[in-house]
Homo-oligomer: A and B are copies of this chain.
């Protein structure tokens, strides 16, 4: 079974205080995910892939992670731990969306080198059937905390391709993240959880508002139906009699917190 892998990882800065390079753990997890993708036991299951990739890490650190495996047959299988997000945009609307998982507000689930962290067993495991033309937008909390669904939809519809869309999304999220007057999804969520400005600011008419400074990672993928020549498709049993397959073009962009 040929599969395509999308991985979003966000390393956790808190480790830097303990003289640990926070990027090492997530880089190792990503490398392991790629190498186990063709593993027979994994067999296209993103949760098993996460288990194996995590077990094979030796670095210290923690990370939030989404692993998404696309099978030729057109089903995107997802395992997610933490507050990265993934949305499927179809015909100008969000058709599918993964909410963030947190212990409490702003404290996400994490795959970790320590026993106290989460494992593959804590992952949200789900799948969605894709259609020709679907756009997949996946990213770190820094993206979805600073940009509304309607903005994502506008950018997707105005962009000429995945490269342009990924760059435009990262740029707009970055702009909002440093805008103290922008009523961001993050600020709205914080207020709905009962967070607020101090009372002495409140009496002056202030309210909790603004973007959220954070690293921003975006991956945009476009789904295209392609014809599969018979000799190539022959070894894929699930596709017997199915002459169409799914391909995606992927682009990513990053904006680091300065």
- B-contacting residues of A (Cβ < 8 Å)? 47, 93-99, 101-102, 124-129, 148, 150, 192-193
Contact assessment for B126 and A129 in the assembled complex, using a CB-CB cutoff below 8 Å: yes
Which residue on chain B has the smallest CB distance to residue A151?
B192
Least distance between A130 CB and chain B CB atoms (Å): 10
Contact assessment for A96 and B99 in the assembled complex, using a CB-CB cutoff below 8 Å: yes
| A97 in contact with B95 given A127-B126, A128-B125, A150-B193 (CB within 8 Å) | no
Main secondary structure of the interface of A (DSSP, over half): strand
Which residue on chain B has the smallest CB distance to residue A150?
B192
Number of copies: 2
| A93 in contact with B101 given A124-B128, A128-B126 (CB within 8 Å) | yes
A13 vs B148: C-alpha distance in the bound complex, in angstroms?
32
A204 vs B97: C-alpha distance in the bound complex, in angstroms?
38
Which residue on chain B has the smallest CB distance to residue A128?
B126
List B contacts of A93 (CB < 8 A): 99, 101-102
Contact check: which of B96, B148, B192 meets A126 at CB < 8 Å?
A: B96
Least distance between A72 CB and chain B CB atoms (Å): 17
Contact assessment for A127 and B127 in the assembled complex, using a CB-CB cutoff below 8 Å: yes
Contact check: which of B94, B102, B129 meets A99 at CB < 8 Å?
A: B94
Contact assessment for A101 and B97 in the assembled complex, using a CB-CB cutoff below 8 Å: no
A128 vs B97: C-alpha distance in the bound complex, in angstroms?
12
Contact check: which of B94, B101, B192, B193 meets A95 at CB < 8 Å?
A: B101
- Most-contacted residue by chain B among A47, A93, A125, A126 (CB, 10 A): A126
Least distance between A50 CB and chain B CB atoms (Å): 13
A93 vs B109: C-alpha distance in the bound complex, in angstroms?
12
Least distance between A94 CB and chain B CB atoms (Å): 5
Least distance between A105 CB and chain B CB atoms (Å): 10
Contact check: which of B96, B126, B192, B193 meets A124 at CB < 8 Å?
A: B96
| A192 in contact with B148 given A126-B127, A128-B124, A128-B125 (CB within 8 Å) | yes
List B contacts of A126 (CB < 8 A): 96, 126-129
A125 vs B102: C-alpha distance in the bound complex, in angstroms?
26
Least distance between A39 CB and chain B CB atoms (Å): 20
